[in-house]
Structure 1
Amino acid sequence: MKKFFTILGILILVLVFVGTAVFLFNKSKEKPVVYETSSPFITDIIQKTVATGKVIPRKEVNVTSQVSGVVDQLFVDAGDTVAKGDIIAKISLAPNMIALNNAESQLESAKISLSNAERELERQKNLKAQRLVSESEYNKFLLDFELKKERVKSAENNLLLIREGSTLQSDLVSNIIKATSDGMILQIPNKEGAFIVESSTFGSGTTVATLADMNDMIFEGMVDEAEVGKIREGMELLLDIGALDSEPFQAELEYISPKGQQDQGTIKFQIRAAVKLQDQVFLRANYSANADIVLDKREQVLAINEGNLIFEEGAHFVDVETAPQQFERRQVETGLSDGINIEIVSGLVESDKIKQL
């Protein structure tokens, strides 16, 4: 009995050893590698660089007041279209008290001088009638009287300008704010009741309204110094505006700044491009946009994924399938690349199959 168990144990050990050996042998056998293939395809290759910026009107104007005061009435709102000369707002004047007092004083002084000149002229007129003074002497007093009368009118107009913003003889009113050009009202920063300061040689004054020509828009952005040497005026831009779901806007590069500026540790150059508007889409001011600047372009050319290229000794190769899972290395001539796909000038045809790397 003891001998039986000994033989059984030995058989079990042999079976375990043989099974382990078979398992390890099967595991060590490599499975055949199956390579995936792809074919060249026809596509457009566009080489481009990206600039970030915004879309703004080419002409944007801040309309200010020539007088200080309180906004009494607004005749337009943001989004309204106006023509040059249209009334935007009316200002209730808040005159400077010193200037007002001086103007009133000048008017009273001018009236006193006129009254005195009138009495003297009347006296000279009586003397002339009695032939006691000559015609030339009388004319001197008449001239002085006319000058004093004109001085009174001037003082009255000056006082009216300070009080009401207009004169008796002129249709111009200084407290009526008018549009200085055609365009759309973009912003009215001060509402009715707000106090505004007049524009002068010492400052631009308070903005009453901002208007712009929304039919002439430009893209303004920044390009990295590593890319600015590759672009030039006249290049085509494709504007992708995140706020809109429309097709990209086309633009033409018209300006590259000759001087760079530091931005977050790198040097960037400002660019400007004229935007070609779309009839069905309204382009608002200050939309953020990314501009794809087209450096070069190939339309409907044979191409492959650039990751399937093999680089050896300065030449380009691909592995072309000659039979199922059998490949031969073939040299190809390449053209333009967009970083994903690359143009194949020669060496492949559309029916070929190449190994995917």
Structure 2
Amino acid sequence: MKKIFAILLACTLLGAGVFAFLSKRGGGKIQILETVKAEKATIEDQLLATGIVKPVVGAKIEIGARATGLISSLPVKVGDRVEQGQLIAKIDSREIERNIETMRISLKTLKANLEKERSLFPVNTDLQRKNIEKREADLRLAERNYGRQKKLYDQDASTDEKLDQSLHELKLAQAELDSVKTELEKIRTTHVNDIIVLENQIKETEARLQELLVQRSYYDIHAPISGVVTQVAADEGETIVAGLQVANLITILQPEKLEMWIYVDETDIGKIKEGMKVFYTVDTYPKKRFDGVISRIYLEPETKEGIVYYTAVISITPEDALLLKTDMTTHVRIVREVKQDVLSVQNGAVKWDGAESVVYKITGDRKNPAERISVKTGVKDENRTEITEGLSEGDEIALKIILPEKKQGFN
């Protein structure tokens, strides 16, 4: 009995529902649920795109190690704020410092030798000149002695032995004079050569010392910019080999220097240009609107999944940058055109009949409460559509409407 009652109750409810539905359909009559006015408003023609937050060029620096050795000090960690020039890592430099000290001692010795050579040269040349003067005097004496012996010999007042002896002494004096003169020239030549060699050795040693000092600077790693440490790729006590394990030891970012890259489809790139205004949102602040302007459009395309995109760049103010993070996805609207004080209706009031845009204008007639009107539309934003032909300001238009069964496609 209960089962039969339940079946009867279900049939009754189903019949009531069908009756209510048919009653609501009004027997094929149009029913107006909500209306809006055709009004003048400001409309922004917008192009939707997706973007990504990036650091500007130079705002993110990846700092590598140019020296090989043990990391003796690593005073920073991820999240630390550092200032330009601050020491952020130190590599054990004892070996290169010993080499620098050795090179400095060598340079000091070479400079001392150069100074010694320059100071001794006048002394040696003066001494040699005095020797020359003495040998010249000896030569003059030998010449006079030989002349006297020759005169005596011609007068048969001297012997062959004395004449030969005086001649021998004359030749010996001349040879000794030539020898000391040659020695003086040798001293001069040797001095010039020694000066050249020492000066070259000093230049080479200074260059080598300078090279070692430059290499020494690689052992103390300083922050090239002020910013926040975002990555540390090694630990204190680790040994690193320059150019091999650690291409990037520490990364520093200036979080206030950001920009946004918008990826624009090749079919839309011709619709935008530099200077156009944009506004965008990010998922973490869905109700906050960020504003900007297209500052650059890159000519080089980028292909993703077979689709060609071009990159438009938008500068981000330091205030907005404090809320954003690198690599955040942005939902962008590019304002292509702004039309002020144009006739428009809410987007939902414009219906489609094939390729034709239509609206339903309220007539006030009980039998035919809404009139189907073809309209021409202009720009459209997220809320309103411009009407360029077919309506007048103040016209009442159906926003939500129930049409007869044969017009169901317009609901």
**In which range does the TM-score fall when normalised by the shorter chain?**
0.5 to 0.7
- CA separation in 1, counterparts of 2:292 and 2:313? 9
- State the 1:75 CA deviation: 4.0
Q: Secondary structure at the match of 1:210?
A: strand
Query: Residue deviations 1:267-307, cap 9 Å, x none?
Result: 22222221234369433322232322222334676422345
Structure richer in strand, relative to its length: 1
Percent identity, aligned pairs only? 18
After the TM superposition, which residues 48-197 of structure 1 pair with which residues of structure 2 at under 5 Å, given as runs?
48-58=46-56, 59=58, 60-77=60-77, 78-83=79-84, 85-93=85-93, 125=123, 128-129=126-127, 131=129, 132=131, 134=184, 137-138=187-188, 140-141=190-191, 144=194, 148=198, 151=201, 155=205, 158=208, 165-166=215-216, 173-197=217-241
Q: SS where residue 288 of structure 2 aligns?
A: coil
1:242 paired with 2:283, answer: yes
Report how far residue 136 of structure 1 moved. 9.3
Taking the aligned partners of 2:311 and 2:320, their CA distance within structure 1 comes to 28
In the alignment, residue 54 of structure 1 is paired with which amino acid?
Answer: I
The CA RMSD over aligned residues, in Å, is 4.7
Which letter does structure 1 place at the counterpart of 2:83? V
Distance in 2 between the 1:317 and 1:90 partners? 74
Segments of 5+ residues of structure 2 without an aligned counterpart are: 1-14, 132-182, 402-410
Change in CA separation of 1:116 and 1:345 when aligned onto 2, cut-off 3 Å: closer
CA change 1:185–1:150 in 2 (3 A) is: farther
Does the C-alpha gap of structure 1 residues 160 and 263 become closer, same or farther in structure 2, counting only changes over 3 Å? closer
Instruction: Read off the aligned partner of 1:74 and give its amino acid letter.
Output: L
Normalising by structure 1, we get a TM-score of 0.67
Letter of the structure 2 residue corresponding to residue 338 of structure 1: D
Which residue of 2 is the match for residue 305 of structure 1? 347
**Equivalent residues of 1:50, 1:291 under 8 A apart:** yes
Report how far residue 318 of structure 1 moved.
Answer: 2.7
On the 8 A contact 1:110/1:148 being kept in 2, the answer is no
Structure 2 SS opposite 1:144: helix
Relative CO higher for 1 or 2, CA cutoff 8 Å, sep ≥ 6? 2
Q: Secondary structure at the match of 1:207?
A: coil
Quick one: structure 1 residues 212 and 299, their matched pair in 2 at CA, closer, same or farther if it must change by over 3 Å?
farther
1:322 is matched with: 364
Instruction: State the match for 2:330 in structure 1.
Output: 289
Tell me the amino acid that sits aligned with residue 361 of structure 2.
D
CA contact (8 A) 2:361 2:396 kept: no
1:39 is matched with: 36
Measured after TM superposition, the shift of residue 80 of structure 1 is: 1.0
Deviation readout 1:17-44 (Å, 9 max, x if unpaired)? xxxxxx9xx98x9642434231137665
Residues 209-224 of structure 1 aligned to structure 2 (within 5 Å): 209-224=250-265
Cα distance change of structure 1 residues 288 and 136 upon mapping to structure 2, 3 Å threshold: farther
Distance 1:116 1:328 in 2: 110
Note if contact 1:67-1:197 (Cα within 8 Å) is conserved in structure 2: yes
What's the CA shift string for 1:25-79, capped at 9, x where partnerless? x98x964243423113766543323332321111222233442223222344444
Contact preservation (8 Å) 1:240, 1:290: yes
Match of 2:396 in 1: 352
Cα separation, 1, equivalents of 2:55 and 2:282: 15
The 8 Å contact of residues 256 and 271 in structure 1, kept in 2 or not, is answered as yes
- Alpha-carbon distance in 2 for matches of 1:332, 1:116: 100
Question: In structure 2, the residue corresponding to 1:226 is in which secondary structure?
Answer: coil
Distance in 2 between the 1:315 and 1:164 partners?
74
Unaligned 5+ runs, structure 1: 1-22, 167-172
Change beyond 3 A, Cα 1:116–1:330: closer
Alpha-carbon distance in 1 for matches of 2:106, 2:82: 47
CA distance in 2, matches of 1:329, 1:263: 45
Quote the residue 1:273 is aligned against: 314
Name the CA distance, whole Å, in 2 between partners of 1:353 and 1:341.
Answer: 13
Contact 1:56 1:285 in 2 (8 A): yes
Seen in structure 2, the aligned counterparts of structure 1 residues 309 and 71 have a Cα distance that, compared at 3 Å, is same
After TM superposition, give the deviation of residue 142 of structure 1 in Å.
Answer: 7.4
- Among residues 386, 395, 398, which one is paired with 1:343 in the alignment? 386
Q: Which amino acid aligns with 1:63?
A: I
- Distance (whole Å) between structure 2 residues aligned to residue 262 and residue 286 of structure 1: 19
SS at match of 2:198: helix
| TM-score, normalised with respect to structure 2 | 0.59
